[in-house]
Amino acid sequence: MLTLILLLIPLFASLIALFFKGESVKWFSFIISIFQLVFTLYIYFVFSSINDGLDKEITQSIKDSLSINIDWINSPNINFNIGLDGMSLLMVFLTNLLMPLIILSGLNKNQERPQILYSLMLLMNFALIGVFVSFDGFLYYIFWELALIPIYFIALNWGGPNRATVTLKFFIYTLAGSLLMLFGFLYLYWATPSHNLSWVDLTVNHICSCKQGFIFWMFFLAFAIKIPIIPFHTWQPDTYSTAPTQGTMLLSGIMLKMGLYSLLRWLLPVVPNGVAEYTPYVIALCFIGVVYASVIAIMQTDIKKLFAYSSIAHVGLIAGGIFALNMQGFQGALIQMLAHGINVVGLFYCAEIIISRTGTSDINSLGGIRVLSPRFAMYFLIIVLGSVALPLTNGFIGEFMLLFGLFEYHSWAGFIAGLTIILGAVYMLRMYQKVMLGDVNENVTVFENLKWNEELILAIIAILIFAFGVFPKPVLELVEPIASHIFKLSFIK
């Protein structure tokens, strides 16, 4: 029941938001998102109590409060099956941690039809949570598709120049991938003896290797487009640059995690034979993409596109760690998904602050902002250092575990992964130097001080960067049991 409440709050809030007028809808959405975050933390403490030595009846009662599995459609056999384990709870926490910051970022903006915009954002919150708590393949697919609708209209109606063409490309790409995944689920339904799409049943399906290879590509292509992994990335840089900042933060901070999460949830344990056969090719794709995106990022002069290609490089490394098929790679991927979500939202918000004050996103036309706004320069530096995985920041723990897992897989994989970290430091630190340091550029004669909501957002992100960098243990303990279970399921049957 707790999971159902967590799911329904943003759905009802999105409907209520439509009846607000003016700027009050922003405060309503912000209050709802704070309540969601507090409720998620309560669920975390309830979930953590399962392993606290309680008797069996209490433990079972707690588990029952976190899951629902009821008949939904009799033919075909589909259940409304939702629940929480450590991995899904981490993704729900990330979603509900970032939503208040994303909503708060719009408080000082003049936005057209705010009630529709914030209703769509809350609806997307509902769909994202649905993806992470679904344990039935058909239900998961519904939420996966539903998450596409709000962000499409957000980007189309509140985006920048050429938004119609860019958004249509994004929609077609992701819809095509979704259809491939649907075919994969239909194939699984008829290929499994139980004829249902329960996650538990799909992980013990005993489908032959040749069929698993076919299903692997149906699922992998859908997830690769969403992540994105090169060469399925071409929709991403333009979409991130054209979408409104809140839409970009939703896309980069949360929505792309759907693809990474799905690799662990719906690919590795469901078709382990297909994974074993094609893992070398996927890892090669990941590292080609990481190096390519890093090189393109070094060459970029547009700050938002630099961050977009940086994101491609980071998620490519995470995907490579997942396909290393070891515990270090799994845990490193999960903690890095959390870290990347926080850092990339901070980066795009800093870009928005710079562009809104200077009127340009051209890195070469900026410089000397530190002189005009030293506090902003400090926050921006902390976020950049988290992104380049400086020790004691949130990016370090995940990247260290990913490197460890990739070295365990093969030494050359670990070497390339280490090289990409160096490249990341090159383009991020060089960008910071050009934008923030040096003499004040003639295009940056005035830089307004941070507003209260801007400083609050940046301060929270900076605190989170150090908090998860210094104290990663709660996250590692949360994901260790499910990572271990998926590790056992991810080998040839």
CB 4 within 8 A of CB 68: yes
Nearest residue to 376 (alpha-carbon basis) of 355, 402, 350: 350
- Sign of CA pseudo-dihedral 363, 365, 370, 375: negative
**Cα 403 to chain centroid, rounded:** 20
Identify the pLDDT of residue 270: 92
pLDDT digits (tens, 9 = 90+) for 427-476: 999 999 999 998 888 778 788 889 999 999 999 999 999 999 999 999 99
Long-range Cβ contacts of 292-295 (<8 Å, 24+ apart): 292/230, 293/230, 293/233, 294/420, 294/423, 294/424, 294/427, 295/423
359 φψ region: left (φ > 0), alpha (ψ -120 to 50), beta (else):
left
The stretches in the chain having pLDDT less than 70 are 51-64, 492-493
- HSE-up of 2 (CA within 13 Å, CB side)? 21
Identify the pLDDT of residue 63: 65
- The enclosing H or E element of 68 equals strand 68-73
Identify the pLDDT of residue 460: 97
Structure tokens belonging to residue 363: 């890195």
CB 468 within 8 A of CB 397: yes
User: Which residue stretches of 300-393 are H helix?
Assistant: 303-322, 327-358, 369-372, 374-387
CB 172 within 8 A of CB 152: no
CB 479 within 8 A of CB 90: yes
| CA geometry: angle 482, 488, 493, nearest 5 deg | 140
CB 103 within 8 A of CB 29: yes
- HSE-up of 457 (CA within 13 Å, CB side)? 31
Peptide bond before residue 228 is cis, with ω within 30 degrees of 0: yes
- Sign of CA pseudo-dihedral 19, 10, 220, 163: positive
- Cα 245 to Cα 121: distance, rounded to the nearest angstrom: 12
3-state secondary structure of 302: strand
What 8-state DSSP symbol labels residue 167? H
Identify the pLDDT of residue 492: 57
- Sign of CA pseudo-dihedral 319, 85, 175, 336: negative
pLDDT digits (tens, 9 = 90+) for 212-245: 888 999 999 999 999 999 888 888 888 998 899 9
Identify the pLDDT of residue 446: 80
Identify the pLDDT of residue 442: 78
pTM attached to this predicted model = 0.94
Residue 150 main-chain phi, psi, to 5 deg: -60, -45
DSSP assignment of 231-272? TS-TTHHHHHHHS-HHHHHHIIIIITHHHHHHIIIIITTT-H
Residue 362 main-chain phi, psi, to 5 deg: -80, 115
- Cα 417 to Cα 405: distance, rounded to the nearest angstrom: 10
Nearest residue to 490 (alpha-carbon basis) of 252, 275, 220, 174: 275
Nearest residue to 93 (alpha-carbon basis) of 33, 160, 145: 33
Kindly state the greatest CA–CA separation across the chain.
70
Identify the pLDDT of residue 212: 87
- Cα 101 to Cα 347: distance, rounded to the nearest angstrom: 13
